[in-house]
Structure 1
């Protein structure tokens, strides 16, 4: 069972959103947005600055200092 996350401080996104093209060492990652974890930890608000025409979307938790 997944561990339930708690929401970070307001106005700070908890996740980055990327479009990834290619595989493995040849993959090219482009950041296209960010996501904020809901206060109850059950969902996200998403803000995108671009919409990809190809590739796949990847949502990754932000690390300290990002």
Structure 2
């Protein structure tokens, strides 16, 4: 896979737990061609919380 063939993964910082957690998208992750890793590009660096990388949603789910 490469950037042109696959959608980037979304990178979020998540603060809190459960239903009250607050998710903020702070970047994207691109899978390596061999599928063994990612390049991660961040637009912000979190001071607390945890990073979560999620698969891209299908176009219907994303409202596009």
Q: TM-score, normalised by structure 1?
A: 0.79
Structure 1: 5+ residue stretches without partners: 1-6
Instruction: Map 1:7-46 to 2 at 5 A.
Output: 7=1, 10=4, 13-46=7-40
- Secondary structure of the structure 2 residue equivalent to 1:25: helix
Q: Is the 8 A contact 1:8 1:14 kept in 2?
A: no
TM-score calculated relative to the size of structure 2: 0.82
Regions of 4+ moved over 3 Å: none
Secondary structure of 1:62's aligned partner: coil
Give the number of aligned pairs. Answer: 60
Q: Over the residues paired in the alignment, what is the CA RMSD in angstroms?
A: 1.8
